[in-house]
Chain A
Amino acid sequence: MSRKERELYEKHQVSNRLHIIGSIWLVFLIGIPIWWKTTEVYRASLPYKEVQKWQNPNSLYINFSIQLSYVLPNDIGKDVNIDLLNKKIQSEFDKNNVIGNNSQESSPVDDDFEYTYPPKIGFSFNVNTKSTNKWNSDIGLIKDIDENFDDLLTLDTKNDDEYNIYILKQKESAKSFADIYIGKNKQFMVFLKELTEENIIKYSVPIIINLFENEHTDIISSFTEEREENESKEEIKKMRTFKYASNYQILYSLFNGNVNDYIVNWDIEKAIKSYFSPFFETLSLISKFEISSQIQNFGTSPLSAKYSNTNDNAHYYLETKNLGHFINSAEWNLASPVSTAPPINFILYIPPISQSPLYIHDSKGDILETNAFLIPRWGGIVIDKNRNTTDAEANTNGNSNYYNYTVNDLQPIMELFLDQLRSLLGINEIKFLPTDLPRNVRVLYSTDSKRGITSWELDQLLRKRTVQNLINASRTLNSLAKLVGSLSNMVVLDKIQEKVLFALECLDNAYKEINGGNYKQVFLYSKNALVASEEAFFDPTMVSMLYFPDEHKYAVYMPLFLPISVPLALVLKEEFKKRKKNKKEKENNEAVVDNKEKKEIIESSTKEVNS
C-alpha cells in the first residue's frame, strides 16, 4: 500500500468513526427530551389564585339578608300610615344592623390561621309592611294559641322566604305588656295591649335582632377550636352534633335482653313512616337518610344494674357515670359495612326480667322520667320501662311471652328518638335568656308535632350548615392546593382540576346568591362546593406519589443510563483527545514542513550562492 492510499484509508476511517459516534449521540440527545416528556407526571394546573382568594378572611364575609314582612290586620292597619311605619321599622333595624360586623381587621396570617379564625357573618334586614283583611286583630282572643293557630294565620304569598310578623291584640286581662308567639311557619306574632307604632317597634325589633344574634353566636362558636378542658354548653353542643354529611345512615335496633323472657317484635317500619317520614322529608334538602332496622336477641348490656328497694318502689337502676359502658361494642352488631355514610344508631333496649324494671338514675340519684340517654355523635338509647306493666295485655295474645310493639306503643319511644336525633343533627330550639328580653315580655315557641322541625329551626339549620360548608369547602381547597404545591411529582388528573373548578364555581355562586335570601339554593351551592372539594381532596389518585422519593427514581434509572452513558462519554473524550493530538501533530508536521521548506530555500539559496 502506498502512503497516499494509507492516508486516504485513515481519513475514511476517522470520518466513519465520527459518524458512528455522532449518530449515537444524536439518538441519545433526541432521546433524552422524549424520555423526559413521556415519563413526566401528568399535572393538570390548578387555579391557585382563586383558591387563595377564599382564604382571605375578608372574602369570607357572609351576609344573610332577611326579609321581614310586617302584617297588620285591616282594623288597625287603616289607622296607620303603613309607609311611614315601614320606614320607621326599617330605620330601627338599620340602627341595630351590626350583627357580625365586629370589624376585627385582618391580623397577620399565620399557618393555622384559617382554622382558628371564625368567619364573618352578618344579617341585614329588609322590612316591608302591609295590611290584610283575612283576620281581625282580635283573632288571638278567640282561638287557642297552639300549633293549629299557626296554620290559621297563613297568607297566600308566593314568597316562601319571608318571615311574617303579625301584629295582634292581647287580652285585656293579661299581666305582661306583650306576648310573643313564634309559630312553626316562619311566623312571629306580637300580641300587644296598645296597638301604637312605638309598641310595635319596641316589642318586635329588639327581640328579632336578639333572635338572630343568638343564631350568629351559635354559628361562630361552631368554628372556634378550644383545646382547654371545659364543659361549657357550647362545647358539649359541638361535641354532640354530627359533622355535616350529605348522607347519613340511621339504624334502629331493638335489643332484647333475654329471649327466654319475651319474644318481641315491633312495627318499626310503620312507626317510622308515620312519625318520622315528614321529618326526613323536610330535611332531605340538607341530608339524605338511609334507614334500616334490626332486632337482636340475647343482647344483654354488659352493665350490671344495681338494686334499690327504698320507698316502696323496688327497681333496678343504672348510674349516670357508668352509662357510657352500656353498649356492648364487642358483641352488638351495629356497624353497617354497606355504606360509608356516618351511622346514627338508635337502640330500644328491653332488659331481661331478672333486671326489670330498669331505670336510669340521674346525677342526683333520682329516677329519670324518660329512661333515655344520648351518646354524642353516636346515637340514642331508650330503655323500655313499660314492659312489666303490659304483661296482662300480652296474656290476651295467647302467648304470654310474645309481645308486639304497635305503632301506638312506639310513640313515646319515637318521641325520644326524635329529640335525640334533633340534637345529634344540630337543630337548635329557639331560646331566649330572660336577660335578652325587655321586661314583662313573654315568648312562646311553637313546636311542629307533624314535621318535628319548624320552619324557623329549619332555616337556622340551613344557614348554619351553609356557612360551615362554605368555610369547609374553601379550607379543603386550600389544603389541596398546599398539598399539590408541596409534592411536585404528584399526579393531578383533569378530574381533580374539574372538581376544583366546579367547587370554586359553586362557592362563587353561593356568595352571589347569599344576598337574595334564597337559602335553599345557597345551601345547595355550598353543599356541592363541599362535596366536590372533598372528592378532589380524597381522590384515590392523589396518593400515588406520596411515598415515592427521588432516591427511588435514581435507583430505577441508574442501571439503564449508567452503562450507556459511560462508554459514550469515554468515546467522546477519546475523540477529543485524538483530535487535539492530531491537531498538534499536524501543526508539528506543518512546522516540520515549514522547516523543511525553509531548509530547502536556504539550501537552494546556498546552492545559488555556491553556483
Chain B
Amino acid sequence: MRIFQTHIYIISIIFFFINVCRSEYSSEFHFPNEREEIIDGFFSKSRHTNNWAVLVDTSRYWFNYRHIANVLSIYRTVKRLGIPDSNIILMLADDVACNPRNRFQATVYNNAERKLDLYGDNIEVDYRGYEVTVENFIRLLTGRHLPDTPRSKRLLSDDRSNVLVYMTGHGGEEFLKFQDTEEISSYDIADAFEQMWEKRRYNELLFMIDTCQASSMFSRVYSPNILATGSSQTGQNSYSHHLDPELGVAVIDRYTYYNLETLEYVTLQSQKTLQYLFNTYDVSLIHSTPGVRHDLFERNLNKVLITDFFGAVNNIELTLKGYKLSRGSENDIPDIKQNTIRDKSDEKIEKINHNNDDHLIPRNEYKMIKVDFKKSAMVSPLFLLGSIALISGIIFISKIVN
C-alpha cells in the first residue's frame, strides 16, 4: 500500500512536470527573440578593431638614404600585413628616389643586393618634403588639423585602434631633429601621446624609434597602454648596417634591419609575439643596446602578437539573419513623421566658427603666418603710446645734445 502511494506521488509529479512543460511551449504566438543571442565569429584577443600606422622619416638629403629605406621597409611590412593605405600615414622627405645622385632612378633599396624595390609602384606618401615638420607631426597625433586637411592626412583612430608610431632620423639626448630646421623633444612626444589618450585616440600604442640615443625619446612618456622600443640606450649611438658601393651611401640602419629579419617571416596568421621580436635583438649585431619600455603597457608581452600592431585586425562576426523588410511599389516611401524639433544650435556653432574666421590663425609673435591688412591698419593704443614715448625721448635727447 505504502509503495503504491509513493508511486502515485511520483507519477503525479511527472504529470505535473509534463503539464508545465506543455504549457511552456504551447503558446499560440510565434516568438522570434527567445533564443539567447549567439555570437559566432572570430575575435582577436586584443580589444582593438582597427590598426593605424604613423611612419615618420625626419631627415632629408641624399646622404640620409638609409632613413627613407628604413621607413619604406616598415611601410612595406605593415601594408603586406593588411593595413590599408588609408590607415597608414607616411611622412617622408621623399627626395631620394629621384635624386640626381641616385644611379637607379625612381627606386629605393634597403639592401645592397637591390632585389626589392621599396619605392615600387604603389606607395602613398601623405606628408612629403617640407611638410614633414614638428607642427604637422603634433597636429597629426593630436588631431588638431586645419579644416581643409584631407582625410588621408589625418589620424582618425578611436578608442579601439592600435597605433604604431615609427620614427627614424638623427637625434640626440631627448630630441629628434626634423629636417635640419627644427627638433622635437621627448616632452613634446609625451604630451602629444597624453593628448591622444585624453580623447581616447588609441587603444594601445607601439612607439618604435631608430635613432641615436633612442631610449631617451620615450623616457618622458607617461600615458597608459604605450609600449616603446628604440635602437639604443641613452648615451649610445645607433649605426647603419651596410653600404651599397654603387650608391655610395648606407642603405639601412642596423636596428631596423634586424627587426625586418623577424618581421619578414611574420604572416597574418602568425602567432609570434612582441616578446619574441624583442628577444631576437642581439647587441653584438645591432652594435647598440635596444631599449624596451613596457611599464605603461598592461598586457603581458608574451601575449601580444606582432600582428596586433604591424598587421590589420581580423575580427569578424557571422550574420545569422536579416531584418525583415517590406516594400510596396518603388515610389511608395512610407510616411514618416518629420522631426518637429528644429536644431537651431547647429546654426549657432556655425556662427561661432564664422564670426571668428579672422582669428583662425592665432596671433603668434614668433611666426609670420598671415599678414592681416585690416589688423595692421588698426594700430593698437599701446603700440601708439610706446612709439610716442620713443619719439619724445629722441627729441629730448637731441635737444640736450644740441
A: residues with CB less than 8 A from B are 16, 19-20, 23-24, 26-27, 30-31, 34-35, 37-39, 42, 112, 145, 171, 173-176, 179, 181, 227, 229, 231, 233, 235-236, 239-240, 243, 270, 273-275, 277-278, 281-282, 284-285, 320-321, 323-326, 329-330, 334-340, 342, 360, 362-363, 368-370, 372-378, 380, 382, 407, 411-412, 414-416, 418-420, 422, 429-434, 440, 442-445, 447, 449-452, 476, 479, 482-483, 491, 493-495, 498-499, 502, 506, 520-521, 524-525, 528, 531-532, 535, 537-544, 546-549, 552, 556
Chain B nearest CB from A359 CB (Å) reads: 12
Cβ proximity bits B284-320 to A, threshold 8 Å, 1 near / 0 not: 0000000000000011000100000000111111111
| Contacting pair B135 A543 (CB below 8 A) | yes
Q: Return chain B residues, CB-CB under 8 Å to A535.
A: 349, 353
Which of B22, B26, B320, B353 is within 8 Å of A495, CB to CB?
Answer: B353
Cβ proximity bits B178-189 to A, threshold 8 Å, 1 near / 0 not: 000000110110
| Contacting pair A368 B142 (CB below 8 A) | no
| Contacting pair A239 B315 (CB below 8 A) | yes
Which of A19, A24, A233, A320 is within 8 Å of B318, CB to CB?
Answer: A320
Chain B nearest CB from A292 CB (Å) reads: 14
Q: Return chain B residues, CB-CB under 8 Å to A502.
A: 345, 348-349, 352
Chain B interface mostly: loop
Closest to B50 in A: A377
Which of B79, B185, B195 is within 8 Å of A483, CB to CB?
Answer: B195
Q: Return chain A residues, CB-CB under 8 Å to B22.
A: 175
| Contacting pair A235 B325 (CB below 8 A) | no
Chain B nearest CB from A7 CB (Å) reads: 20
| Contacting pair B393 A27 (CB below 8 A) | yes
Closest to B393 in A: A27
| Contacting pair A320 B323 (CB below 8 A) | no
Q: Return chain B residues, CB-CB under 8 Å to A380.
A: 319
Q: Return chain A residues, CB-CB under 8 Å to B79.
A: 330
| Contacting pair B319 A420 (CB below 8 A) | yes
B: residues with CB less than 8 A from A are 22-24, 26-34, 36-37, 39-43, 45-47, 49-50, 79, 82-86, 122, 134-135, 138-139, 142-147, 150-152, 154, 156, 158-160, 184-185, 187-188, 191-192, 195, 198-199, 224-225, 268, 298-299, 303, 312-327, 330, 332-334, 336, 339, 341, 343, 345-346, 348-349, 352-353, 355-356, 359-366, 380, 382-383, 385-386, 389-390, 393, 396-397, 400-401
Q: Return chain B residues, CB-CB under 8 Å to A42.
A: 362-363
With A275-B327, A502-B352, A540-B145 given, is the CB distance from A443 to B31 under 8 Å? Answer: yes
Q: Complex Cα distance A434/B31, Å? A: 12
Which of A374, A416, A491 is within 8 Å of B317, CB to CB?
Answer: A374
Which of A20, A175, A273, A543 is within 8 Å of B138, CB to CB?
Answer: A543
Closest to B319 in A: A372
Closest to B23 in A: A175
With A179-B29, A444-B29, A445-B32 given, is the CB distance from A37 to B382 under 8 Å? Answer: yes
The contact sample of 26 A-B pairs, CB cut-off 8 A, is A23-B396, A26-B393, A34-B383, A179-B29, A285-B341, A330-B84, A330-B85, A334-B86, A362-B40, A370-B318, A411-B327, A415-B322, A416-B322, A419-B322, A442-B31, A444-B31, A483-B198, A491-B364, A502-B349, A524-B345, A538-B145, A540-B139, A540-B145, A541-B144, A541-B360, A547-B185
For chains A and B in complex, what number of residue pairs have CB atoms within 8 angstroms?
Answer: 322
Q: Return chain A residues, CB-CB under 8 Å to B45.
A: 229
Q: Return chain A residues, CB-CB under 8 Å to B122.
A: 330
Given A373-B316, A376-B316, A502-B352, list of 10 further CB < 8 A pairs? A27-B389, A236-B317, A329-B84, A368-B320, A370-B322, A440-B23, A499-B352, A528-B346, A547-B138, A547-B188
With A275-B325, A412-B322, A543-B135 given, is the CB distance from A493 to B362 under 8 Å? Answer: yes
Closest to B224 in A: A112
Chain A nearest CB from B94 CB (Å) reads: 20
| Contacting pair B135 A547 (CB below 8 A) | yes
| Contacting pair B323 A422 (CB below 8 A) | yes
| Contacting pair B32 A544 (CB below 8 A) | no
Q: Return chain A residues, CB-CB under 8 Å to B366.
A: 548, 552, 556
Q: Return chain B residues, CB-CB under 8 Å to A434.
A: 34
